Structure 1
Amino acid sequence: MMKYKNSIVAVCILALGMGTIGHAYAEDTAALQKLGAALFVDPNLSKNRTMSCSTCHMEALGFTDGRETDKVGHDVSLGDDGTSLGDRNVPTAAYAKFSPPFGKNAAGDYVGGQFWDGRASTLEDQAGGPPLNPVEMGMPDKGTLIKRLKENSDYVTAFGTQFGGEVFQSDDAAFAAMAKALAAFERSDTFSTFDSKYDRFLRGEEKLTDQEELGRVLMSSTQFTNCNTCHAIRGSNGLSDGVFTNHKYFNIGVPANKAVRAANGSKPDAVDLGLAQNPAVAGDPAQRGKFKVPTLRNVAVTGPYMHNGVFKDLRTVVLFYVKYKSKKPSRQINPETGQTWDAPEVPENIAMTELTQAPALDDKRVDAIVAFLKTLTDKRYEPLLSKDNAGQGATPPAHAASFTPTAP
């Protein structure tokens, strides 16, 4: 069985254009990305050989997890053991390379990093997290993971070519090499295509509808909305590489996902403190409840939403922000439950200044913002928008299943 699993990974490597790895590899980015691509889809990197990086980051679904669980849909992800559930929604891996390393900016605000709380400073740090997380891929330690890598002779050859023949003499060195290869793949153009309708509009290749244009104007405004205070529309090169986040952290008063807490066995008094749980922040009470501002690219097909998947529909998310600005009783109702919005999980440190700066939006403008957000969908995912559940996250098509070997 082991020989069969290794052979499948070898076939996957060949399919990625790596050929005979020992001869094809050189010290270059393209070769490293190809190695990372093979590692990304390899379930042998998990304890029970059931989960790869691509299991929770399906390329066909905007690099998010579309697997359904019995009790919580895909609010959070199922672990390698088939029973463990996390407490946070899987963030997309698309456009993650644009997040700077975790730290403080000139104003003293925390920015950057990976994961919802920034606990991984870089993509390399992030790539090493899930394999050793007991509720994700479940490997007990680095040494066990490296033994798995060495089961595959193609990996041994490729690692030797890329990192030197002594790379497997140290588990730490081999683990770091694996993380470097995975991070190189995540920095490839596969994850950041910039070919959405919005991008095509910027290049003069396509026009927006009147509704989408109104949404674009509203998103860009500091008078009618405050969206781009956090979801910055510009990148380092202007609009062309904007990923719609300033990479900062805010507490916006998101309620707990009670269904997830009930399903994953959390203690009744469990509270997700977000950034304050990042070891680099050392429990600073001023950071309690803050989570990283996510990219809005592909947001229409990567629900459910918020750090815990508590909202299913994209329009609900927009209305959640509107409720801070509106005095209308109808705006104080969560449309998904028909009840008043649940209380914030962490009531202190809520960014009320940012949340209340702009006037409340009427339905026309809410719908316009949702329409514009859909234009941020990469071209390959645009067919998902036509589904009945567009804006509620996508259901994985049959061909989007993660790379999982089966017995012959």
Structure 2
Amino acid sequence: MAITESVPVPLAPLPPLAARARAIGGSPVRDILAVTARPEMINFAGGLPAPELFDATGIAAAYQAVFAGTPARALQYATTEGEPVLRAALAGRTSARGLPTGPDDLLVTTGSQQALSLLATTLLEPGDVVLVENPCYLAALQVFAFAGARIVAVPGDGEGIDPEALDELVVRERPKLLYTVPTFQNPTGRTLPAARRAAVAAVAARRGLWIVEDDPYGELRFEGERLPWIAAHEGAADRTVLLGSFSKVMAPGLRLGWLRAPTDVLRACVVAKQAADLHTPTVNQLAAARYLADNDLDAHVARVAAAYRERRDAMLGGLADALPEGSSWGRPEGGMFLWARLPESYDTTELLARVVRQDVAYVPGAPFYAGEPDRSTMRLCFVTQTPGEIREGLRRLGEGLRAGA
């Protein structure tokens, strides 16, 4: 019997990835974290809440209660909108903070990051203009770029968006939406004052503009008075989508966020979520609802905020010695981040490798800009380390910056 040799068949090339996937790079923050995971590293680069402050006991008890009481329901499919008991609890918390809200005004999402993606899907066409703060939350820039939007930064200052500049941009650019983190913003830690919030709401009402108001840090206030959401201002209710999250106040591993939106937007986001993941995990929703019923979340957040204030103060106390003469930085009233600007001759992206050799890390400011970046800036997260670790980290940071000068 003759033996026939098989002849290799040349493989045809596969179709390429979508253009939007080829055009969008990874997250510089994640790239930095990947190379700074050594245990000896003091990491000011992450946006991670302090794990030792999680109420692990209370959360575990909530899961145990759910499995003891309703195991079949906890492990079953659920409605896309979210578990009614959780939406009712969230509506009550939102209403108590000055924005009347019913359960049907809310959609539970798999983290507030998913809420951003759903909004980009439902509101944006390729080429639409999105207005953002300058600098802006990095993952939001990625979401909008992935949707094919043209991203335009709104001029501002140390207090945030300039409402007059916003008004001029809306007239000139005809944007679809404005994205803002008005309270303890990522990356700067700044908070938009009450008068500017009212002015931003007035621009949206007068010009016809969606506002996406992202509020993951607002409950982490150390000092000063709480400010009303933009969504609560006159003229903004029917054109503002408010995003919330348990990631910074309960635990990020739960992956629980939500959006509050006008009816038409909410319905469109529900359809988009059905296509994305059907629903957020039932057991996590029920456990969060049980935790809210059995525990005082506000008291827990107050304890966390007190610890974060101590850590912020430790960072503020050491920056003058760590940063070169001529540097400036903010003093956030809450949240997780502090923004620093070095003298113009410094490029924090170029300096990072030298600083990392001192076993400390930060995030260069450049990736947070939609337009021309300020390369002398950096973001420092002050919540993940203890005050003693922060002081040591700043000592190392100073050595690294001096070595690279």
Q: TM-score, normalised by structure 1?
A: 0.26
Q: Which structure carries more relative contact order (alpha carbon 8 Å, separation 6+)?
A: 2
Structure having the higher strand fraction is 2
